[in-house]
Amino acid sequence: MSQNAFAQLEKQLGYEFESKALLRLALSHRSVGLPNNERLEFLGDSILNFVVAEQLYLAFPEAKEGQLTRLRANLVKGDTLAEIATTLSLGNFVRLGEGERKSGGHARASILADLVEAIIGAVYQESGLSAAKELVIRLLKDRLNQLSLDDPQKDSKSALQEYLQSRQLPLPDYQVVKVEGEGHAQRFSIQCVVSGLEATPIATDTSRKKAEKKAARMALDLLNELPRGGR
């Protein structure tokens, strides 16, 4: 990556790396071989969760643990990070192996989300927690300012789990029914087994997590249709 490209990305991040090699590492997907950004991603994920947890703790002093957990999950989930990465045009900077590059890895949400975490980890490695914290807050500023405890932040899996726990029922069991396709074109069919439901919802999507959420929503809808005596 050229010096001009480095400068462009650093301007968007609001942080200038002393070590361009560290930034290059943060942008190196595992498909390029070793070294790659997986360790930085691991580090950045932990820092991201901590910083967001602290910001929510300070912003919502009356919030319960479950509310804070849902708000944090919404901010650190892959879809949110991929949106941030897209805003930063990280797909233009990622280093990919030939196979990933040909299959469109520069636009894949999971890869983009991992880049954000790796960059956070790299900033921490170079300049410590304070700089990494500033970066996280800068990247999430608008989303943090828009949060409200009244927002429907709970995803379908969390909602289903709380529904069952409140009735002292076993937690749902998500099982892979079928996996179709190869590599980046895979589709997962997941069934959600719930105590008290005669039917077993099955949902299909391009990732296991997405299919699980769809199946959980279907299970919730079925549970809400049951007569009160059957709940």
pLDDT digits (tens, 9 = 90+) for 2-60: 678 789 999 999 999 999 999 999 999 999 999 999 999 999 999 999 999 999 999 99
Active-site residue (options: 16, 18, 38, 45): 45
* pLDDT on residue 141: 92
- Check whether 162 is labelled as a binding-site residue: no
Q: Do residues 158 and 77 touch, judged by C-beta distance below 8 A? A: no
CATH level 2 (architecture), domain 3-146: Orthogonal Bundle (1.10)
The arithmetic mean of pLDDT across residues 169-184, rounded, is 88
What Rg value do the Cα atoms of the chain yield, rounded? Answer: 20
**Could you tell me the CA-to-CA distances from 197 to 172, 193, 223 in Å, in that order?**
11, 8, 7
Class of domain 156-230 (CATH, top level): alpha beta
Buried b (16+ CB within 10 A) or exposed e, 92-113: ebbbbbeebeebebbebbebbb
From the list 98, 54, 88, 90, the residue with the least C-alpha distance to 72 is 54
Active-site residue (options: 18, 65, 79, 117): 117
- Check whether 79 is labelled as a binding-site residue: no
* pLDDT on residue 154: 58
* pLDDT on residue 198: 87
Task: Record the pTM.
Answer: 0.68
117 is catalytic: yes
Per domain, the residue ranges of the chain are 3-146, 156-230
Is the pLDDT score of 152 beyond 80?
no
- Check whether 126 is labelled as a binding-site residue: no
* pLDDT on residue 228: 52
Is the pLDDT score of 126 beyond 50?
yes
Is the pLDDT score of 136 beyond 50?
yes
* pLDDT on residue 163: 83
The arithmetic mean of pLDDT across residues 156-166, rounded, is 84
**Beta strands 202-205 and 173-180, pairing class:** unpaired
Is the pLDDT score of 153 beyond 50?
no
Q: Average per-residue pLDDT in the chain?
A: 89
Burial class (CB in 10 A: 0-12, 13-18, 19+), 38: middle
Structure tokens belonging to residue 192: 């959600």
pLDDT digits (tens, 9 = 90+) for 196-224: 888 999 999 888 888 999 999 899 888 87
